[in-house]
Amino acid sequence: MNRFKALTVATLVLTSALALAQTPPTATPRVDARQDNQEKRIEQGVAQDSLTPRETRRLEREQQRISKAETRAKADGTVTAKERHRLHKAQDAASRDIAHQKHDAQRDVTKPGN
């Protein structure tokens, strides 16, 4: 039974190592997922008239800056821990900005009914 457990553990470790080895050093799935989520939140704010056109442009420019920073981080073939940290901090700030702008008292007055 001990050999079976040892073989099973060794197989799991090897499988995990292979899975990690296949992940490219430029992969940023968390950054990409957050970027998609934040873009959806901006779209929801536009649809709900909780963002003015000016606020929308500002938030979209902020998302573009984060996307460009991600591209620069990937340019050398490796996204370092420091670069990931900077991207996450930028996304944290963008998330706060989206929440603030969606929930402030301003509405899109160019749309009927506002």
Query: Is the pLDDT assigned to residue 1 strictly greater than 60?
Result: no
Considering Cα of 109, then 37, then 64, then 87, what sign does the dihedral take? positive
pLDDT at 58: 97
Domain annotation covers residue 14 = no
pLDDT in tens, 21-56: 556 778 889 999 999 999 999 999 999 999 999 999
**Residue span of the structural domain in which 31 resides:** 26-102
* Per-residue model confidence as pLDDT tens digits over 70-114: 999 999 999 999 999 999 999 999 999 999 999 998 776 666 665
114: Cβ–Cβ under 8 A, 6 or more apart, which residues? 49, 107, 108
The structure's pTM equals 0.73
- Domain membership flag for residue 1: no
Nearest Cα to Cα of residue 70 among 101, 36, 100 = 36
Domain-embedded: residue 16: no
Between CA 102 and CA 90 the distance in angstroms is 18
